[in-house]
Structure 1
Amino acid sequence: KTLRSLQVTFLFLFFLLKCQLIYLPPYSCEGCKGFFKRTVRKNLSYACREENKCIIDKRQRNRCQYCRYQKCLTMGMKREAVQEERQRTKDRDHNNIEVEPTSSSNTDMPVELILRAENKADAIKTEQQYIEQQHPQHTVGAICQATDKQLIQLVEWAKHIPHFKNLPLGDQVLLLRAGWNELMIAAFSHRSISVKDGIVLATGLTVDRDSAHQAGVEAIFDRVLTELVAKMRDMGMDRTELGCLRTIILFNPGSKGLQSVNEVEVLRDKVYVALEEYCRTTHPEEPGRFAKLLLRLPSLRSIGLKCLEHLFFYKLIGDSPIDTFLMEVLESSSHDVQVAT
Structure 2
Amino acid sequence: FFRRSVRKNHLYTCRFSRNCVVDKDKRNQCRYCRLRKCFKAGMKKEAVQNERDRINCRRPSYEEPTQANGLSVVSLLNAELLSRKVIDETNNVTDAEINNRKLAKINDVCDSIKQQLLILVEWAKYIPAFTDLHLDDQVALLRAHAGEHLLLGCARRSLHLKDVLLLGNNCIIAKHNIDGRMDIDISMIGMRVMDEIVKPLREIDMYMR
Provide the rounded CA distance (Å) in 2 between the counterparts of 1:215 and 1:118. 33
TM superposition shift of 1:173: 0.7
2:167 is equivalent to residue 193 of structure 1: no
Cα distance, 1:172 vs structure 2: 0.8
Change in 2 beyond 3 A, CA 1:202/1:161: farther
Query: Is the Cα contact below 8 Å between 2:116 and 2:153 reproduced in 1?
Result: no
Identical aligned residues as a percent: 30
Aligned pair partner of 2:202 in 228, 233, 248: 233
After TM superposition, where is structure 1 displaced by more than 6 Å over at least 4 residues in a row? none
- Number of equivalent positions: 135
1:121 to 79, 83, 86: 83
Higher helix share: 1
RMSD (CA atoms): 2.9
The unaligned stretches of length 5 or more in structure 1 are 1-100, 133-137, 241-341
| 1:130 maps onto 2:98 in alignment | no
Find the residue that maps to 2:185 and give its secondary structure: coil
Taking a change above 3 Å as real, the CA distance of residues 239 and 194 of structure 1, as seen in their structure-2 partners, is: closer
Deviation of 1:140 after TM superposition, in Å, equals: 2.0
Measured in 1, the distance between the counterparts of 2:133 and 2:181 equals 38
Confirm or deny: 8 A CA contact 2:106 2:186 kept in the other structure.
no
Q: Which residue of 2 aligns with 1:177?
A: 143
Cα 1:113–1:142, aligned 2, differ >3 Å: closer, same or farther? same
Q: Secondary structure at the match of 1:130?
A: coil
CA displacement at 1:120 relative to structure 2: 2.7
Aligned to 2:168: 202
Q: TM-score, normalised by structure 1?
A: 0.35
Letter in 2 for 1:216: D
Residue of structure 2 in register with 1:335 after alignment: none
Q: Secondary structure at the match of 1:203?
A: coil
* 1:103 shift after superposition: 6.2
Contact 1:130 1:206 in 2 (8 A): yes
2:113 and 2:167 map into 1 onto residues whose CA distance is 9
In structure 2, how many angstroms separate the alpha carbons of the residues matched to 1:212 and 1:176? Answer: 34
| Cα deviation code 1:96-117 (max 9, x no counterpart) | xxxxx99647422322222222
**Aligned to 1:230, what secondary structure does the other structure show?**
helix
Q: Which amino acid aligns with 1:159?
A: K
- Higher RCO structure, 1 or 2 (CA under 8 Å, sep 6+): 1
Distance in structure 2 (CA, Å) of the matches to 1:238 and 1:214: 29
- Return the offset for 1:118: 2.3
The one-character-per-residue Cα deviations of 1:276-313 (angstroms, maximum 9, x if unpaired) are: xxxxxxxxxxxxxxxxxxxxxxxxxxxxxxxxxxxxxx
Q: Deviations over 1:19-38 (max 9, x none)?
A: xxxxxxxxxxxxxxxxxxxx
Output the CA distance in 2 between the equivalents of 1:149 and 1:141.
12
Distance of 1:141 and 1:177 partners within structure 2? 21
Greater Rg by CA: 2
Aligned ranges 1:238-257 → 2 under 5 Å:
238-239=207-208
Contact kept, 8 Å, 1:212 with 1:218, in 2: the verdict is no
Matches within 5 A, 1:1-341: 104=60, 106=62, 107-108=64-65, 109-123=71-85, 124-126=88-90, 130-132=101-103, 139-209=105-175, 210=177, 214-239=183-208
Deviation at 1:144, TM superposition (A): 2.7
Equivalent-residue separation in structure 2 for 1:177 and 1:161 (angstroms): 17
